[in-house]
Structure 1
């Protein structure tokens, strides 16, 4: 990717790593350490295309992909090894550690628990959630009791868990749980089975949050947008809304701006996952939208005015939408120009072979982002997150991290 000559590309990788950061769009099953994936596969006797890191990078987790389908190919291997509670806890712990190593103070890990459940082996929803939380909590305890927090004054580490319902799944091959759902509801239409699974997920999420105290902070729907619009999950999102579970939606990743509109109006989304197509009127397919430019303009203004944050995943978008070409053509530039609240995220650290720091570096080397705007982007990661504590605690935490940002910026001569 070509880099610009903007003066603000002087932000060094050292500065970026040291400044406080948040990742609000982070898939657990797309972010394993490759070495751990290999070890887990051997432990669970899961067949992989290669048992070396270089081999996996050549065959599965590539730098570039032909399309979204190829991008998603590797999830069959990661989900297979994560249907083991020990591996699941390890993956969550290591993901937190990897973020902490590059100065990420807050993460929201998202995944689809029903992809990992295996009722016949006793791997239930509750056990899956506790395994993930145990790994994250261990990393939190270790870091927050360390000298980095106690003596160096770095912000503590916090996290939340976002549970994903799947927009679509088939009768076989997706997971033991989904296969069983189709068997139990054999006389239902496929979309009704999919919606039933989503409702079971949100009900279980609220129950475990309220009765067992796990920091399940949000609901998401992931998977293929085309053919599975957000409005089909309106009842699921209404249940979340009624039970104070915050809401994000994968929208505008591989479908037009009308998908974003539905996420906002039918699912009452508090944040948007990706949102790339917002400024791509050519991707609009709804024939009732005759003035596509005006539609985009009005929708962007609506989002900006309500400060609905967009979870931006630059590398992932470039990999799943090769037609973008160079990074300078990514719609992140339009998001900046239209003053949208944006948060730099990774999506999948393994599948996209990236880090939060790398995503910031790409953005700052390609787009004109003065220090004040950079601080705004960092701030949105802490002000627009689904923090598991109350609002007063969230504000205090955001203030602490932004004060630390100023400290780091002063150290590097920016202020």
Structure 2
């Protein structure tokens, strides 16, 4: 088969995509449970679900399409409820790693908000949560990396590696978000709500660095998640500064539901090493800052800066289609402008369960709808290994990425692309 070119669109089969080495850098644990696993955990923990069949859950809760963001988020009340149990946390993390490995995903960064899962009254604190999730991921890693066809030799599949990204929440209320947050509001009842929220975020980052340094857990990054509009990233500047000063890498949910100025804030106020979603970068009409008079010029300049600095955007196509009513067709997604502007993009799932997707499905969606020749496809795969927050040192990361890209060539040759 002739090598693909920009002028000759190429069809990539799902089998080819599944065999390619891949990384998922934007992957929420609480949005990525197996449906059958959720049912099993709910029964064990006596958590009530709307249905106890996979088909029923997909019909009532985890749909292919959602009416609005609220409906999209509805299912998290069930996943978070079952995950407030250490056995369930470990199982969910293990199954998530196994599911990724079955479709050729060799590296994942699992993110979640530990404080959403903590339950102090039941002895489930930060350390217990982190160990449970890490134990599940480590179990899957050990099983996979002991296989005879995995390793660093010629023709071997890349080993499985992972990192954990801890999410602080942009906002939470006095009741209902989690037992930990409810208790924190009671303890700090004379504080302004935003001060309580920022205190929780600072406690999270201090605990994350302690466990990384003292116990060797692969906590590789900080994220800020939750409602973006009304809770700008700059409010958490001190939290991100603390992470920055302690060599913890940073990603920020930015440009998902707010204008490009939120992306600028993530870069300048929070030292973001990567951007989660970044959709509004090419939607100047979403800019609300009145001081920005030429919105299109602002977006162009910001996009050029991001491209030049090779700041990667974690792209979640299906999730954006489901939560952004402005996108009525995948071909209208701003991913096309990211490609045109040569921005480093990493194809991610966001929430495998809630969006009913996989990394391979997301690649297929991208490659079927946008012109991506083989060289650009290899670049996209490479960004997943070069822009990740690898838990080892830089030399180890380079060797791992090099092996993954050599394996890309092995698979591309097998399917006749080179």
TM-score by length of 2: 0.97
Residues 230 and 259 in structure 1, CA contact (< 8 A), matched pair in contact too: yes
Residues 108 and 161 in structure 1, CA contact (< 8 A), matched pair in contact too: yes
2:250 equivalent to 1:244: no
Q: Distance in 2 between matches of 1:70 and 1:164?
A: 22
Q: Distance in 2 between matches of 1:338 and 1:351?
A: 30
Q: Which residue of 2 aligns with 1:52?
A: 53
Alignment of 1:115-264 (within 5 A): 115-149=116-150, 153-264=156-267
Residues 222 and 249 in structure 1, CA contact (< 8 A), matched pair in contact too: yes
Q: Distance in 2 between matches of 1:67 and 1:381?
A: 30
Q: Which residue of 1 aligns with 2:383?
A: 380
Q: Which residue of 2 aligns with 1:66?
A: 67
**Any stretches of 5+ residues in structure 2 without a counterpart?**
1-5
What secondary structure, in the 3-state scheme, does the structure 1 residue paired with 2:346 have? strand
Q: Which residue of 1 aligns with 2:393?
A: 390
After superposition, the Cα gap between the structure-2 partners of 1:6 and 1:362, relative to the gap in structure 1 and judged at 3 Å, is farther
What secondary structure, in the 3-state scheme, does the structure 2 residue paired with 1:311 have? strand
Post-superposition offset of 1:322 = 2.2
What secondary structure, in the 3-state scheme, does the structure 2 residue paired with 1:323 have? coil
After superposition, the Cα gap between the structure-2 partners of 1:34 and 1:7, relative to the gap in structure 1 and judged at 3 Å, is farther
Q: Distance in 1 between matches of 2:114 and 2:147?
A: 31
CA distances 1:317-363 after superposition (whole Å, capped 9, x unpaired): 00000221110000000000000000000000000000000000000
Post-superposition offset of 1:399 = 0.3
What secondary structure, in the 3-state scheme, does the structure 1 residue paired with 2:326 have? helix
Q: Distance in 2 between matches of 1:96 and 1:386?
A: 17
Post-superposition offset of 1:7 = 4.6
**Any stretches of 5+ residues in structure 1 without a counterpart?**
none
2:117 equivalent to 1:96: no
Q: Distance in 1 between matches of 2:57 and 2:287?
A: 36
Q: Distance in 1 between matches of 2:61 and 2:7?
A: 35
CA distances 1:288-320 after superposition (whole Å, capped 9, x unpaired): 111000000000001001000000000000000
Post-superposition offset of 1:148 = 2.6
Q: Which residue of 2 aligns with 1:81?
A: 82
Q: Distance in 1 between matches of 2:70 and 2:170?
A: 15
What secondary structure, in the 3-state scheme, does the structure 2 residue paired with 1:148 have? coil
Q: Which residue of 2 aligns with 1:28?
A: 29
Alignment of 1:239-318 (within 5 A): 239-318=242-321
Shifted more, 15-24 versus 152-161: the winner is 152-161
Residues 251 and 272 in structure 2, CA contact (< 8 A), matched pair in contact too: yes
Q: Distance in 1 between matches of 2:17 and 2:9?
A: 12
What secondary structure, in the 3-state scheme, does the structure 2 residue paired with 1:324 have? coil
Post-superposition offset of 1:9 = 4.2
Q: Distance in 2 between matches of 1:182 and 1:8?
A: 55
Q: Which residue of 1 aligns with 2:368?
A: 365
What secondary structure, in the 3-state scheme, does the structure 1 residue paired with 2:149 have? helix
After superposition, the Cα gap between the structure-2 partners of 1:143 and 1:6, relative to the gap in structure 1 and judged at 3 Å, is farther
Residues 10 and 373 in structure 2, CA contact (< 8 A), matched pair in contact too: no
What secondary structure, in the 3-state scheme, does the structure 2 residue paired with 1:389 have? coil
Q: Which residue of 2 aligns with 1:109?
A: 110
Post-superposition offset of 1:8 = 3.5
Residues 6 and 365 in structure 1, CA contact (< 8 A), matched pair in contact too: no
Post-superposition offset of 1:6 = 8.1
2:417 equivalent to 1:414: yes
Residues 32 and 96 in structure 2, CA contact (< 8 A), matched pair in contact too: yes
Q: Distance in 1 between matches of 2:136 and 2:187?
A: 33
Q: Distance in 1 between matches of 2:67 and 2:298?
A: 30
Q: Distance in 2 between matches of 1:185 and 1:69?
A: 29
Q: Distance in 2 between matches of 1:44 and 1:404?
A: 42
Residues 8 and 364 in structure 1, CA contact (< 8 A), matched pair in contact too: no
Residues 71 and 319 in structure 1, CA contact (< 8 A), matched pair in contact too: yes
TM-score by length of 1: 0.98
Q: Distance in 2 between matches of 1:62 and 1:352?
A: 7
Matched pairs, number: 411
Q: Which residue of 1 aligns with 2:346?
A: 343
The CA RMSD over aligned residues, in Å, is 1.1
